[in-house]
Amino acid sequence: MHLGLVLTVLVCCCVQSSNSRKNVLFLVSDDMRPNIGAYEGKEYPAPVSPKMHTPHLNALAKKSLLLERAYVSQALCSPSRTALLSSRRPDTTHVYDLKHYFRLVGGNFTTLPQYFKQNGYRTMGIGKIFHPGMAASGNDDPISWTDPYFHAKDTYGDMKDIWYAVPESKVKREPLQDTILANHAIGVLKEVAPKAKSGEQPFFVAVGFHKPHLPWYFPMRFLDYYPLSSLREPENYYVPKDMPPVAWHNFSNFDAFSDIKKFHFKDVGYINFTFPRELTLELRRAYYCALSYTDSEVGRVIAELDKLGLANNTIISFWGDHGWQLGEHSEWEKHTNFEMATHAPMMVHVPGLTDHGVKSQHLTEFVDLFPTLAEAAELPPIQLCPEDSSKVDLCTEGMSMVPLMKNPNYPNWKTAAFSQYPREVGQNRVMGYSIRTDQYRYTEWPEFQGSPQYQPQWNIEFGAELYDHHIDYQENVNRANDPAYQTVRDELRGKLIAGWRQALPPGYK
């Protein structure tokens, strides 16, 4: 071939590659609280001992925008994931449980992967992204993906224990579900790499890991990071003072696991129930191990991205769908409006923009990720939703976080984050609405009218909570009825009722 022709071909290839759109590697973990090593200090969100072993997520955080105070819309898998993937809150999606599909009860909303698909991306779903099943997502919202969806069989699904350290020899013969997912993701990245690198077609590859969701099954080697002698009970292994009963989540389902049932406990899950010390430590250790196992699988997928030469043109986002209580307040699981349940990890790596790491303490919400990834990938911006967006296919109830990548103290930002959780009190349907400001968390539990109104009745209240994070970051004392906080409570109540739109910065509403 003539030298000039060779040079022309090389130049064309280089130009095509440099002008290609950014890919997206979209990583999700189930039930992960922000105790990973990247989150440090007393507010992230409660002390653990020993520190969790998460070297791969720590490394990702060092080259990402790390959202130190990111909050979910609701601390339950399907409502949280639906809110993030549609960029609309539960009172818009009308998804508050695991039994309703937003397209049937909320509207035909364009989802995050669907938007990338509409813009020419190959979108591939692996594992748990939407909550699976026909009821919750029409079997993973097929319209969002260009390729058939992939789920991994859970070879340990018939086991009845709450935790199990799988011997290494058995893991090799029978890989755990998240290992199978990581293996498949690595294969997918190899498949999509050539067209992505040439600029022919970018990809949006979503990988949803199941752990550290119950039950906690993990390779036995992870026990080495957490000697039982190094474990500690939570500092606040008791219910918050003056907590209204409606705030409590009954975790009696723990008693369905064989290794819990054998103790013949009475009143598992009821207010102020606590497990014996050694069992508490074993349960906390099992969660830590499952989380570290997830970290290792995330690391394998990211390592393959690097190996394939895709790192310089691929956005990587990572988030856990909500927090998790490990005995704090005597609570286990999620299902509450406490900080421990609503605060979750989130980070976004954008090559060339976050390479040296950016930390922001601004209050952010999971509905912010959709417009963030769209802007980072240079897709058409997502407009703010109108008051009634039930007939609007594409819009957002969040804000793009790209400005925080450029300035983590960006001044024109929202002043609060909002979460909610439903309860049944006798024959009454109740919705706990929570507002998190820089200093306070205020939660009110009004009666709630379901379909077709989907409206709280603020004048019918079943309880209120007010926690002052400047003096009580673990939320151990409810000050809602403290006369010294009456003015604060009145102000927060007004902001809570006014809603998320009024917390947006001037000019953004």
Give the catalytic positions in this structure. 77, 131
Does the bond joining 215 to the residue before it have cis omega, within 30 degrees of 0? yes
Contact 323, 374 (CB under 8 A): no
> How many angstroms separate the CA atoms of 131 and 141, rounded?
9
3-class SS of residue 376: helix
> How many angstroms separate the CA atoms of 345 and 67, rounded?
7
> How many angstroms separate the CA atoms of 338 and 216, rounded?
23
Which phi and psi (to 5°) does residue 142 adopt?
Answer: -55, -30
Residue type, 45: P
Give the other-Cβ count within 10 Å of 12's Cβ. 10
Residue-wise over 318-353: b if at least 16 C-beta within 10 A, else e? bbbbbbbbbbbbbbbbbbbbbbbbbbbbbbbbbbeb
Label the pairing between strands 325-326 and 332-333: antiparallel
Contact 474, 441 (CB under 8 A): no
Cross-strand pairs, 423: 430
The residues near 272 (Cβ < 8 Å, ≥ 6 apart) are 238, 239, 330
> How many CA atoms are closer than 13 Å to the CA of 21, on its beta-carbon side?
21
To the nearest 10°, the Cα dihedral for 34, 38, 41, 44?
-10
> How many angstroms separate the CA atoms of 45 and 141, rounded?
33
| The two structure tokens encoding residue 457 | 């009745």
| The two structure tokens encoding residue 281 | 């430590």
> How many angstroms separate the CA atoms of 329 and 331, rounded?
5
Which phi and psi (to 5°) does residue 363 adopt?
Answer: -75, 120
Q: How far is CA 14 from CA 11, 198, 214, 306, 487, in A?
A: 5, 9, 47, 19, 62
Nearest residue to 211 (alpha-carbon basis) of 9, 317, 340, 54: 54
| The two structure tokens encoding residue 443 | 């939660």
